[in-house]
Amino acid sequence: MPEYTELMAMREDIGRVTAKALAFMTKSSEDDVENIKALVLLAQCYMCNFGVDRAMYSSYRRAWSFGLDSFTLDSKKTAMPRYFATRRLMFVQASRMLHNARFGCASTLENEIADRLAHFCLSQYSEVRNYAVSALDDVTTLLPALKYPLIPRFLAELSASESSDPERMTGALRVLDTQSIRRTCLRDWRFFPQLVLALCRAQHEDKPQVKKLVRSTAVSQVVHVAAPHPIEELDPAIRDLVEQLSGQPCDAASVSRLKEKCQERYSFASSENSQLIDALVDILRDAGTTWRFAAIAGYYLDQLSSVKTPLAPRVVATLADNLTSDLVLFRESAAIYLTQLLSRIKHRSRPDTELYAVQKPKPDREYADLCERAVGGNQDALDAPFLDSPSVGWLAWPQTTRVFPQPLPGTSAAYEDIDPEYKGAYDAVRAAIFSAEKWERIARLFSLESTRSPEEDSFGVPRAALHEQLFSLFGVSLLEQAWPSIEKLAMDFERIGAQRAAAEMIAGLVRGSKHWGKDALARMWELLIPLFSLVFTRLRPDTLRFWQVCLQYSIARRDPRRYLPLIELVIYTNSFDPQAEAPFAEASKLDLMRVLLSCWDWRIASTIIASRPRLMDALAHPYKQVRDIAGIVMYMLSSSEFSVSYPCVEVTIDDFARYGSTGRDFSHWGGTQRTHNLIRDMTASIDAWKEEHIPSSEGTSNYIRGSKTLLTFFLASFGYCSRRLAIEHIPTILPIFSVLQEQHDDEDVARLANVIMQFFSQVLYTAEISEGVANKILALLDESSAMWHVIHKTLPLLCTLTFSNRFTLSREVRMRIVDTTAAFLEHEQIEVRQSASSSLTSLIKCASNKVMADINSKFSAKLKTRLPRVRYGKPPKNLAAYSKLVLTRHAGVLGLSCLVLAFPYTIPEWMPEVLVLLANCIDDPNPIQSTVQRTFAEFRRTHMDTWHEDRKKFTSSQLEILTDMLVSPCYYA
């Protein structure tokens, strides 16, 4: 087309003029900032023009993405409006044009303009640099081929030389941090090593802006850095599947060429990676490297050091030395990498399949007592293989499971034959850590408190994992080297950091001893038990959390019989004494017992119960912290006694098919006889103390303290354990908790009781349990007719219970709930009537038309008898009869008000008559008048927007009554 040829010639002329103008500015007028900015923008427009405005292209893309998300019916079908289909065509055309422009060959003129833009990126003027960097980013994004000759030019500006200029370095860093060039530098190993070393060696420039840019550039890149990965062979099955799907055979020659090319690239990348790692190690070992740039080098070293490929001993030794670096970040990154490396060495040296056996377990419901028998000295229980998974056997026994044999005599380590590829790394780590001085330094640095505040200092799982891998790999010989430092930290009771570091080391030691020999384990417990005995008696509120997590980390997913000395210490030697006068010490004992229960659950419950803990003696303990943890432990013990332990999966499925999805035992388990006795004893003690209770504002009585413990017992079901035990005992405890809601002697008792009653009302019950709970609440309301506070608190809970379980409650029970709630509209106490009104409004929303009709007729009948006239200032003739009639009419008004408020946005057929009845009560005394006014105010608020349609459902006389009685004339204007 002649027009197109003419336009392209004009575009070419504009490009040549732009290039000449940029060349002139480069040589003669670099200080002409405004003209250079204009020329840079012109060059950007010329280079980035591919036939469509970029803003319009982005608009097309967003519109098509929105339409695709909004009108897709399924994975194969869409219902796209014509407008969005048109936008799709425009987007496809713009994308085609962009693709053609992006992957075309760059001309000589375009290379010249890009070179001039690169020159201005290094300008002495910040405004020029900003414009040029933005333009070059757009240009290299559209024409990727232009950036490859420019990258070495910018990297050279970062090197230390006599001609280095901070302004030029700033421009080079800005360009290297742009998205298009950053991606290329990270993926292309021709540039990546140069970029990393340039950033790590850029400490020669002291300008703060340059240092900040170096750090930001390094941080933005280091998170995307990864060591090169070897080429993996394609699975033949996958290759055959691809051939079947494509319908074409695989070209072996093409695959071989591509594979050879990929292998060449990987070999080059691996060689460059090794050289780069060596250079980074040299930077770290150089005493002249400042800590900021050493940190940058350390970041890159961590990312480039892959545990999947063996590293040189020199590199591993450097990382091991970083464990005792003065920089926190160095220590943390070294700990994470060494943990991964040691785990890799273990798995390559001795696979897990050599450490465990797959056996057919013995289905035994008595497995829950295995630990108890082992503590008692039963040899069969002591010799049984370890079953570490805590879930195996709880519901059903599998056909096979993984078990670990008992430790063999001796102190030999489980990992003695190290894989030859990792032998150098193993020796480097061993040489670095096998010294008492090294562990003293580790202990000193790892025990430093948080830089913000001691309260924010927390147990470090990465550090504990490092210790676990060290002690697991090097065995008891490393323990002898590290023990003096560990013991010194644990005995430092004044420093929070020392206690935290000791807990981390001991947690890693105990968990890492999984595959030690019997003599090595005996040596470990010989050192640990006396230390634990002393530490557990010197715990403080700010250090208890460390030792709790220490126990959790040590014993999680481990057979309890691995830790018999620890169990004997926590349960027997360091047993709970409710008569002791050290409340925190006794609460700490119970807290450690709670940790054992939370980790081992049904496998440790019988052992603790057999020790006869005196938990009931803490029911009315004078200290809250003891009572709270005692209530929690009592519930956890009771809940942990339950285990189904079906002999096989087939029996489990058959039981579920016959008794429902929860099986025969699970949903209706109310605890063992011991649990029933425990709850009975607690409630009996509270009832006895209630008789002796004298309300007083000075101190608390046994009744108040015991009630708090009982509340905590059931509150634990919603925070720590399963709810099945609490659900079964709801009917028993509801009368007690309903009374406690109005306990004014102690606000905590009333608050806890309210919380638990709210929880109980929101639980989804089975059909049998939900009806039992509802009947119990209804009986409670009937028995509490004289206690209006109890009724006032219980009616909303009954409403919530009905909503939560409306599909499991029978029609008869739901009708009883509605009738009972409606009956309380005639209660003498105004608070009860208001609570019943709110509850009935909610119940009506899910009621049938027949129920609503019955309610309408029932409460309309209560308004048929009008009040006798009473002269102002004079009492009625029969005050009792008058008051009763006011109460009856108020109940009728409340009932009809519930009907109106239950439909805030619609007008049922019966509503106009109900509104007229309510309007006729506007002259009645309070509280009838105020109730009518509130009802109509709410009705007006909710129907205001649709009143032009809603008013058509009223007759003219009804509208006249409503307008004259309540609504201002402007409302219907």
The C-alpha torsion from 829 through 832 and 833 to 834, rounded to 10°, is: 120
Q: DSSP 3-state assignment of 646? A: strand
Spatial separation of the C-alpha atoms in residues 221 and 182, rounded to whole Å: 8
What three-state secondary structure class fits 159?
Answer: coil
SS3 393: coil
- Using an 8 Å Cβ cutoff, are 631 and 713 in contact? yes
DSSP for residue 668: T
Structure tokens at 881: 């009869």
Question: Residues of 393-410 as b/e, b for ≥16 C-beta within 10 angstroms?
Answer: bbebbeeebbbbeebeee
Q: How many CA atoms lie within 13 A of 242 on its CB side?
A: 9
User: What is d(CA 541, CA 455) in angstroms, rounded to the nearest whole number?
Assistant: 11
Tell me how crowded residue 912 is: count the other CB atoms within 10 A of its CB.
18
**Residue range 242-276, pLDDT digits in tens:** 778 777 777 778 888 888 888 888 888 888 888 88
For residue 200, give the amino acid letter: C
CB-count burial class (<10 Å; 0-12, 13-18, 19+) for 809 = buried
pLDDT at 57: 75
What does residue 386 show for φ and ψ, rounded to 5 degrees?
A: -80, 135
User: What is the reported pTM?
Assistant: 0.75
Query: Of 583, 605, 552, 567, which Cα lies nearest the Cα of 721?
Result: 605
* All residues at 6 or more sequence positions from 705 whose CB lies less than 8 Å from its CB, including other chains: 619, 620, 621, 622, 627
Which pLDDT does position 972 carry in this prediction?
Answer: 42
CA dist 504 and 463 (Å) reads: 7
Which of 764, 378, 395, 766 has its CA nearest to residue 601? Answer: 395
| Centroid of chain to Cα 392 | 26
Q: Give Cα 700 distance to the centre of its chain.
A: 39
DSSP class per residue in 45-83: HHHH-SSS-HHHHHHHHHHHHHHHHHSB-SSS-B---HH
What are residue 698's phi and psi, to 5 degrees? -105, 110
Q: What local confidence, expressed as pLDDT, does residue 352 receive?
A: 60
Whether the Cβ atoms of residue 867 and residue 924 lie closer than 8 Å to each other: yes
* Ordered DSSP codes for 549-581: HHHHHHHTTS-GGGGHHHHIIIIIIT---TT-S
664 vs 20, 357, 396, 578, 770, CA distance in Å? 90, 33, 13, 39, 18
Which pLDDT score, from 0 to 100, does residue 550 have?
95
pLDDT of residue 971: 42
Contacts of 91 (CB under 8 A, 6+ apart): 57, 60, 61, 63, 64
**Measured distance CA(203)–CA(169) in Å, rounded:** 12
For residue 561 the two structure tokens come to 């019989």
Phi and psi at residue 955, in whole multiples of 5°? -80, 170
Tell me if 371 sits within 8 A of 561, measured CB to CB: yes
DSSP codes of every residue in 478-527: HHHHHHHHHHHHHT--S-HHHHHHHHHHHHHHHHHTTT--HHHHHHHHHH
Q: Residue 671: what pLDDT?
A: 65
Predicted confidence at residue 973, as pLDDT, reads 41
CA distances from 656 to 393, 602, 643 (A): 17, 22, 15
Q: So what's the pLDDT on residue 970? A: 40
pLDDT tens for each residue of 789-836: 778 878 888 888 888 888 888 888 888 888 888 888 888 888 888 888
Three-state secondary structure call for residue 396 = strand
> Residue 230 has what pLDDT?
75
The parts of the chain modelled with pLDDT lower than 70 are: 1, 50-54, 72-78, 103-104, 160-163, 306-308, 351-356, 358, 360-366, 413, 449-456, 659-671, 696-699, 720-724, 731, 764-766, 784-786, 870-877, 964-973
